[in-house]
């Protein structure tokens, strides 16, 4: 029994010695590598100091294994290696700048250790927040209360942006919070979050956006910039609000990039683009009508952007600035103050005015009068399904068809339709009867495309890596462009809108569905997508 216990003690001591020696060897190897690189960088006798470090290591390990008492040998070995470290630092510091000097005091070592922990946390994170000034905010450490909310937000935002989400909605109350991402205008439900985790995450995000984390009821809006390991920097616009039902958080991703597109990239057909260009310098009102979330702001910004801000005085009146337009004076104004603000603005003789959204009749009357009497170019956004509906709304708001006829130049309506993924779209032969129902020439259309979502990779069918299996990538507009010539203006002035409809049809105006089906024929989208988009808000 005594022999067994003695054997156990010897075995334990041997393992302990081996571990301590290995730790010492590993520490010395790391230090020697650092000295080698540092001496090379600062020209401090690389070979000499490599020799000294190796000699010190030889003496240290000789003491470790030759002195009978292991602990005494270990302490002596440590002191020999520390002496070599101190000698290098003493020779090095006078030869380098103050900012590059090394210090061996406790505070410096503690600071370096903390910095190393922070660096490791940053390296392991897939997302970090940018500071207002150049640089990034520190990723919360594992022992920080904000570490879990940070990881939760990573798990929500990174996959969503990886799938090209333009919007993320988080909402809930007690129990669970629902998460929904919108990709190319279509909402997809994600895994739910536990209420406590979701609330902590939203509070953490509000803090990063400079919002009041203590106030969960009032509607708040903030912005921040994140950097994802996989896709780089992204601007987030965050809106939160609370009620007795719970808490909501809406995150818009890169909203400015979505809004700012040139006119020729919106999806206008060649004939429509030429029609819009033909009225560029004619003055008058141009109405842009869409249902909600159908690209109205993008089109208004694109039209406004066709005017030169350095030779013309251009203004926008918006409830919120969607994106910055270079050289354009952008004013944020609420609906109640809009008529007064517009009146004041028109006194300054602007060349172009853009009103993002018309919500009441007084603004319509002021704008119509300015267009009819002074030939002002004014772009106005309306919530309407098509050009004829928008025209009726405009006449009703102005209350004077004759004034509308004198000042109205064009009405543009649109829907957003998803584009087929060019990698996985599937070619097929369409049914002739189905084409005839859509007023498409069955004898001339031999093939169309539909969404796929799957591709062959090494003889194996897999999810399309380009679109993530959705079958669609990005969106374009299907447009209805009604430009009013003199005859059309006379029909508007008399209120004969049925005759107006027939007149613009004779002038080869395309209706929304016809323009959308044109994109189908050209292989840009599918019939099912057109049916989905045209079945929107009424």
pLDDT per residue as tens digits for the range 370-415 = 999 999 999 999 999 999 999 999 999 999 999 999 999 999 999 9
Specify the pLDDT at position 121.
52
Mean pLDDT value of segment 195-214? 94
Residue that is written with structure tokens 């509000």 in the block: 206
Mean pLDDT value of segment 288-305? 95
Specify the pLDDT at position 137.
79
Q: Which of 76, 38, 36, 40 minimizes the C-alpha distance to 56?
A: 76
Query: Domain locations in the chain?
Result: 15-93, 128-253, 259-534
The fold adopted by the segment(s) 259-534 is: Rossmann fold (3.40.50)
The pLDDT confidence band at residue 159, using thresholds 50, 70 and 90, is very high
Mean pLDDT value of segment 263-274? 94
Residue 36 burial (CB count, 10 A): 15
Specify the pLDDT at position 196.
93
Mean pLDDT value of segment 347-371? 94
The fold adopted by the segment(s) 128-253 is: Beta-Lactamase (3.30.450)
Helices 361-374/387-398 angle, 10° precision = 90
Name the strand (E) or helix (H) holding 218.
none
Mean pLDDT value of segment 497-502? 94
Q: Of all residues in the chain, what percent carry a pLDDT higher than 70?
A: 92
Mean pLDDT value of segment 165-180? 93
Tell me which of 19-28, 103-112, 135-144, 342-351 is least confident: 103-112
Q: Which of 291, 314, 282 minimizes the C-alpha distance to 301?
A: 314
Specify the pLDDT at position 12.
40
Over its C-alpha atoms, the chain yields an Rg (Å, rounded) of 35
Question: Is the per-residue pLDDT at 125 higher than 70?
Answer: no
pLDDT digits (tens, 9 = 90+) for 433-487: 989 988 899 888 999 999 999 998 888 899 999 999 999 999 999 999 999 999 9
Tell me which of 45-54, 61-70, 203-212 is least confident: 61-70
pLDDT digits (tens, 9 = 90+) for 226-250: 998 888 899 999 999 998 889 999 9
Q: Of all residues in the chain, what percent carry a pLDDT higher than 90?
A: 61
Question: Is the per-residue pLDDT at 1 higher than 70?
Answer: no
Q: How many whole angstroms separate alpha carbon 386 and alpha carbon 511? A: 9
Residue that is written with structure tokens 């903390």 in the block: 114
Specify the pLDDT at position 107.
57
Helices 527-534/512-521 angle, 10° precision = 160
Specify the pLDDT at position 85.
83
Phi-psi region of 468 (alpha: psi -120 to 50; beta: other; left: phi over 0): left
Please report, for the chain, how many H helices and E strands are present, in that order. Answer: 18, 19
Question: Is the per-residue pLDDT at 115 higher than 60?
Answer: no
pLDDT digits (tens, 9 = 90+) for 476-487: 999 999 999 999
- The better pLDDT of the pair 515, 26 is held by 515
Q: How many whole angstroms separate alpha carbon 13 and alpha carbon 532? A: 76
Does the predicted model carry a pTM greater than 0.85? Answer: no
Mean pLDDT value of segment 197-211? 94
Phi, psi of 246 (to 5 degrees): 145, -155
Residue 120 burial (CB count, 10 A): 13
């Amino acid at each position: 029994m005594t022999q067994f216990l003695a054997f156990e003690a010897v075995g334990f001591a041997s393992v302990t010695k081996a571990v301590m020696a290995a730790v010492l060897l590993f520490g010395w190897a790391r230090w020697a590598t650092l000295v080698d690189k540092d001496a090379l960088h600062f020209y401090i006798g690389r070979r000499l100091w490599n020799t000294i470090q190796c000699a010190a290591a030889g003496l240290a390990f000789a003491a470790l294994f030759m002195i009978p008492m292991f602990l005494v040998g270990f302490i002596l070995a440590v002191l020999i290696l520390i002496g070599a470290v101190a000698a290098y630092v003493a020779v090095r510091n006078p030869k380098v700048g103050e900012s590059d000097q090394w210090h061996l005091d406790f505070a410096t070592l503690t600071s370096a250790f903390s910095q190393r922990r922070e660096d490791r946390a940053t390296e392991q994170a897939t997302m970090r927040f940018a500071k207002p000034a150049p640089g990034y905010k520190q990723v919360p450490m594992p022992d920080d209360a904000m570490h879990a909310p940070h990881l939760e937000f990573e798990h929500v935002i990174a996959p969503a942006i990886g799938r090209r989400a333009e919007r993320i909605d988080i909402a809930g109350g007690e129990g669970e919070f629902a998460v929904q991402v919108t990709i190319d205008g279509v909402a997809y439900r994600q895994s739910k979050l536990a209420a406590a985790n979701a609330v902590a995450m939203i509070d953490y995000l509000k803090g990063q956006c400079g919002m009041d984390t203590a106030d969960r009821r009032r509607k708040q809006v903030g912005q921040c910039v994140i950097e994802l390991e996989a896709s780089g920097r992204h601007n987030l616009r965050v809106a939160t609000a609370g009620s007795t039902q719970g808490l909501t958080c809406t995150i818009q991703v890169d909203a400015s990039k979505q809004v700012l597109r040139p006119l020729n990239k919106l999806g206008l057909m060649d004939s429509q683009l030429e029609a819009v260009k033909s009225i560029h310098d004619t003055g008058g009102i141009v109405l842009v009508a869409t249902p909600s979330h159908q690209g109205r702001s993008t089109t208004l910004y694109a039209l406004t952007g066709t005017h030169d801000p350095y030779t013309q005085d251009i203004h926008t009146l918006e409830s919120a600035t969607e994106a910055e337009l270079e050289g354009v004076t952008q004013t944020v104004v609420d609906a109640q103050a809009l008529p007064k603000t517009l009146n004041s603005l028109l006194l300054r003789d602007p060349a172009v005015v853009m009103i993002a959204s018309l919500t009441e009749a007084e603004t319509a009357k002021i704008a119509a009068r300015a267009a009819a009497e002074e030939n002002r170019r004014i772009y106005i956004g309306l919530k309407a399904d098509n050009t004829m509906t928008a025209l009726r709304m405009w006449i009703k708001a102005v209350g004077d068809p004759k004034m509308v006829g004198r000042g109205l130049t064009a009405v543009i309506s649109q829907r957003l339709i998803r584009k087929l993924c060019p990698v996985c779209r599937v070619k097929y032969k369409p049914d002739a009867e189905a084409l005839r129902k859509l007023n498409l020439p069955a004898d001339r259309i031999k093939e169309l495309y539909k969404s796929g979502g799957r591709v062959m990779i090494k003889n194996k069918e897999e999810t399309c890596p380009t679109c993530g299996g959705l079958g669609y990538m990005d969106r374009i507009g299907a447009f209805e462009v009604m430009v009013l010539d003199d005859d059309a203006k006379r029909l508007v002035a008399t209120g004969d809108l049925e005759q107006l409809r027939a007149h613009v049809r004779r002038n080869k105006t395309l209706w929304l569905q016809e323009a959308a089906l044109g994109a189908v024929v050209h292989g840009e989208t599918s019939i099912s997508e057109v049916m989905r988009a045209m079945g929107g808000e009424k």
